[in-house]
Amino acid sequence: MPLLVMKFGGTSVADLGRIRNAAEKVKREVERGYDVIVIVSAMSGKTNELVAWVEQTSPLYDAREYDAVVSSGENVTAGLMALTLQEMDVPARSWQGWQVPINTTSAHASARFVSIPRDNIEAKFREGFRVAVVAGFQGLSPEGRITPLGRGGSDTTAVAFAAAFGAERCDIYTDVDGVYTTDPRIAKKARKLDRIAFEEMLELASLGAKVLQTRSVELAMRYKVRLRVLSSFEDSDENSGTLVCDEEDIMESKVVSGVAHSRDEAKMTLLKVADRPGIAAAIFGPLADAGVNVDMIIQNISEAGFTDMTFSCPTNQVKRAEKAIADARAAGAFAFGELVVDDDVAKVSVVGIGMRSHAGVAATMFRALARENINIKVITTSEIKISVLIDRKYMELAVQALHDAFELDKAA
């Protein structure tokens, strides 16, 4: 029988009524002839309660115990979902991570999948079960302990199951009805996309469009899993939501697919750094060790053997970055004239696979911003994306201007 993976996040299973609503969507797919693997998160609020208990008990907690406690949230939802389906006469059972088993590495902060053997679940499908309800987020380490796949890791669990079982599609049910050309709260004219390429989704996910986790999109791209994002709270059919898929599955595509933004960015510049081989490693090594998520890096041209090095990071990591730089300087790793911090910037990006074959996207972008008198502070580009840092107060204006300039409100 063809197989579908369906994933429901915490707000989609927040109480018994919503679990029932989700179960109805599952039943509909069973009636259409699919065997279904359902991945569920904890009922929303439950994970926070458990995390608070752990943190109150032990500020520097043992990650293995954290995982043992917090994973119980998903187990509860999985059992309740299986019971709800049984009540609807759909043969279903729940699976905890260790029962499948979902084999992972032992890193408790960020365990990775090693394997998901199909045998146990497939044996149950052969016995006549139509639905396997799997507790999201959790795996089994080689030492026999519960490992998490990072908070919110149930998107990734869903994609991994879809890859392992060769699912026809992986449907991610959430509280929005798809992926938009930009944030609808900022640009009224934002339009829902019917399809988007994996690469574009990856750029959008990591740029701050919080619909899907970056890692789940990476995994889907690697294993060619057709990934669909759609709403738990609306009726849906085969054409609902947004399909994240291979570039070739998108017939007609615009040059730019979306405008992303990220509000809380900071720009830091080291003035007068010696321009010598290895200087970038000397600076960014200590920052990485300190856990600073450096995003953009720009090195200006050199003058008289010195250069300026600029990078961006989230605002709340500025203090940590300053300390790492001061420590490295004191240890003699590198010298510089001055550190200039601007923690009042935002990042705006345009993303589109079509850029690869179309010149002039950067020019259009810069012209649109210039028309609004928005000064660009930093520019970086990749094959399918152009990002700029601007003053934070202009962020909404820039998003709207770019959305208009690339006519994203109109379908391709």
Sites of contact with a second copy (CB under 8 A)? 16, 19, 50, 53-54, 56-58, 61-62, 64-66, 68-69, 71-73, 75-76, 78-80, 82-84, 86-87, 93-94, 96, 98-99, 120, 144-146
Are 182 and 15 in contact, with CB atoms under 8 Å apart? no
Nearer to a second copy, 8 or 98 (CB): 98
The amino acid that residue 283 corresponds to is I
Nearer to a second copy, 99 or 380 (CB): 99
Residue 175 beta carbon to a second copy: minimum distance, rounded to whole angstroms:
22
Residue 328 beta carbon to a second copy: minimum distance, rounded to whole angstroms:
33
Q: In what order do the strands lie in the sheet with 131-135?
A: 92-95, 131-135, 35-40, 3-8, 169-174, 227-231, 242-245, 195-197
Nearer to a second copy, 86 or 299 (CB): 86
Nearer to a second copy, 11 or 86 (CB): 86
d(CA 100, CA 134): 8
Residue 81 beta carbon to a second copy: minimum distance, rounded to whole angstroms:
9
**44-47, Cβ contacts within 8 angstroms, sequence gap of 24 or more:** 44/9, 44/10, 44/11, 44/13, 44/14, 45/10, 45/14, 46/10, 46/73, 46/76, 47/10, 47/73, 47/151
d(CA 323, CA 341): 13
Nearer to a second copy, 43 or 313 (CB): 43
Nearer to a second copy, 53 or 335 (CB): 53
CA-based nearest residue to 407, from 182, 176, 177, 229: 182
Q: At what angle do helices 214-223 and 198-206 cross, to 10 degrees?
A: 160
Task: Show Cβ contacts of residue 368 under 8 Å, excluding neighbours closer than 6 positions.
Answer: 401, 402, 404, 405
Task: Show Cβ contacts of residue 86 under 8 Å, excluding neighbours closer than 6 positions.
Answer: 92
Nearer to a second copy, 88 or 107 (CB): 88
Nearer to a second copy, 56 or 357 (CB): 56
Q: Write out the two tokens for 1.
A: 């029988």
Residue 1 beta carbon to a second copy: minimum distance, rounded to whole angstroms:
22
Nearer to a second copy, 53 or 300 (CB): 53
Residue 172 beta carbon to a second copy: minimum distance, rounded to whole angstroms:
24
Are 271 and 278 in contact, with CB atoms under 8 Å apart? no
Residue 19 beta carbon to a second copy: minimum distance, rounded to whole angstroms:
7
Residue 194 beta carbon to a second copy: minimum distance, rounded to whole angstroms:
36
Cis peptide before 2 (omega within 30 of 0): no
Are 97 and 139 in contact, with CB atoms under 8 Å apart? yes
Nearer to a second copy, 67 or 342 (CB): 67
Are 200 and 220 in contact, with CB atoms under 8 Å apart? no
Residues in the chain: 412
Residue 232 beta carbon to a second copy: minimum distance, rounded to whole angstroms:
18
Residue 315 beta carbon to a second copy: minimum distance, rounded to whole angstroms:
32
Residue 118 beta carbon to a second copy: minimum distance, rounded to whole angstroms:
15
* Cα–Cα distance list, 324 to 285, 306, 309, 318 (Å): 10, 21, 15, 10
Task: Show Cβ contacts of residue 281 under 8 Å, excluding neighbours closer than 6 positions.
Answer: none
